[in-house]
Structure 1
Amino acid sequence: MGAHAAESGYIDYIMALSKPATAAKFKQAREDVENVGGKVTYEITAGLKALTISLPEGLVQTFDNKDYVDFIEEDKADENTKRFNYYIYYQSD
């Protein structure tokens, strides 16, 4: 998987799921992201249970009160760091 850069008008985030991070939580989070016009770019299942997502600007607050969200933060890593992180995630599976 190559590194992903947010499209114009979108912002990349890391959404960590609350424990226990069940398949149902992953499914609900994915559906909710897609329902607001966002994209899930990767599911992290080793260690931290999270999604890397790309959301239209201004929509991150949509997820503030979702039970399945532990935290959500902007993915501010540069492209080289993202490439390294994706490599690490793949090696951990």
Structure 2
Amino acid sequence: MIRNYVSHGVGRVFHTDPIVHHSRNNVAGHMVLNQTFTKEPMLTMGRIKPVVWDDNWTMATEDPNLSAQFKHTILITKHGAELLTNCQKI
């Protein structure tokens, strides 16, 4: 897992607080009611050093091994966490 990438809050500004780390860490924080955030780790079969392409958007690892990124958007409700990007099987 690429550890120096993080997930983020989603609000009136798309990339906003909270910053959500993908691995165990000592960063304090908590989620609050009606907060929306993403969880978007990047996984790799090889080295964990990322490289940004010349388009300043596309990311890959420095070696030719496979890598993938996925994203979920989560809303904190009074009943718990609701996965907004949950796709039902058809």
Identify, as 1 or 2, the structure richer in strand: 2
Q: Larger RCO: Structure 1 or Structure 2 (Cα < 8 Å, ≥ 6 residues apart)?
A: 1
TM-score, normalised to structure 1, is: 0.28
Higher CA-based Rg: 2
